[in-house]
Amino acid sequence: MMKDIATPIRTQEIMAKHGLTVKKSLGQNFLIDPNILRKIVGKANLTKQSAAIEIGPGIGALTEHLAREAGKVLAFEIDQRLLPVLADTLSPYDNISIIHSDILKADVEKAIKEELAGYEDIVVVANLPYYVTTPIIMKLLLEKLPIRGLVVMLQKEVAERITAQPGTKAYGSLSIAIQYYTEAEMALTVPKTVFMPQPNVDSAVIRMIKRPEPQVKVINEDFFFQVTRGSFVQRRKTILNNLQTAMPNGKEKKELILKALEEAEIDPSRRGETLSIKEFGLLADKLYPYFA
């Protein structure tokens, strides 16, 4: 077995050889612990019949572990300087394609068709750049890509919000947006010491498995998300108060909001954080005829 990229010494050697300095603005915190990489990849349940999509391969620490377990790896890296480094560090593997692109601008569906043809089990596995975790996850979910799910490292605080259950402080519109599409769970908490350089925040790995159908069926998805976001604008206020502010002409239409709440059997004095996703779905459908 080849020496892992993800050791402190080898990472330093690679960076020195290529004259590489980390760009903090791109969220570059490289993993330097092979044990944590094994654990992350283990959470993805890959086989040689699976393909992995990685966002931000960096110098290849996670990429090589994915290449060992999966049939094929497709990785998107924004930083041009890393391409020659990856060509060097990943030269022992012949099952990796790297695309030089900002993942937020990339045509991922096309890349899957071109690079992962024949793979039916596709999983996103990544140590995400922390400045942009939510937009990346939302893009990959909203584009309805043919993926089984995502196993990603991100800030622990965001991981807690994504996986939060109703009635907790961390529960909010982000929990709902993601749990609407996936079953999300905390998979690992990760100490700062496994990164170089060490990030300022604590980290965690979450696993999100896509649901065959969204958790609730609603009349209009955009409106549902508008209602959920609006219900948390001021967390300490009641659902009635927040909706009066969030809905168009909500102040004048208080009676209609009360009517919708009654139809959905939701007490107007409750706070948004106590409502389940099913209750939000029902509420959105009752509000929709009055506000659409």
Q: Mark the segment that binds ligand SAM (CB under 6 A) among 51-59, 205-213, 217-225, 282-290.
A: 51-59
Contact 21, 105 (CB under 8 A): no
| CA Rg value for the chain | 22
- What does the alpha-carbon distance between residue 258 and residue 160 come to, in Å, rounded to a whole number? 32
C-beta closer to ligand SAM: residue 198 or 220: 198
Contact flag: residue 285 with ligand SAM (CB under 6 A)? no
CA 220 to each of CA 97, 228, 246, 282: distance values in angstroms, whole numbers, following the listed order: 38, 13, 17, 11
Contact flag: residue 52 with ligand SAM (CB under 6 A)? no
CB-CB neighbours of 99 under 10 Å: 16
Instruction: Find the shortest distance in angstroms from Cβ 3 to ligand SAM.
Output: 16
The token duo for 178 is 């993601």
CA 94 to each of CA 3, 64, 135, 271: distance values in angstroms, whole numbers, following the listed order: 17, 11, 31, 54
Q: Is 202 marked as a binding-site residue? A: no
C-beta closer to ligand SAM: residue 116 or 164: 116
Instruction: Find the shortest distance in angstroms from Cβ 196 to ligand SAM.
Output: 8
Contact flag: residue 56 with ligand SAM (CB under 6 A)? yes
Contact flag: residue 78 with ligand SAM (CB under 6 A)? yes
Q: How far is CA 136 from the centre of its chain?
A: 6
Site residues for ligand SAM, window 90-129 (CB under 6 A)? Answer: 102-104, 127, 129
Q: In which residue are the tokens 């927040």 written? A: 242
Q: Is 29 marked as a binding-site residue? A: yes
Given the rule CB under 6 A, which residues bind ligand SAM? Answer: 26-31, 55-58, 61-62, 76-79, 82, 102-104, 127, 129, 132
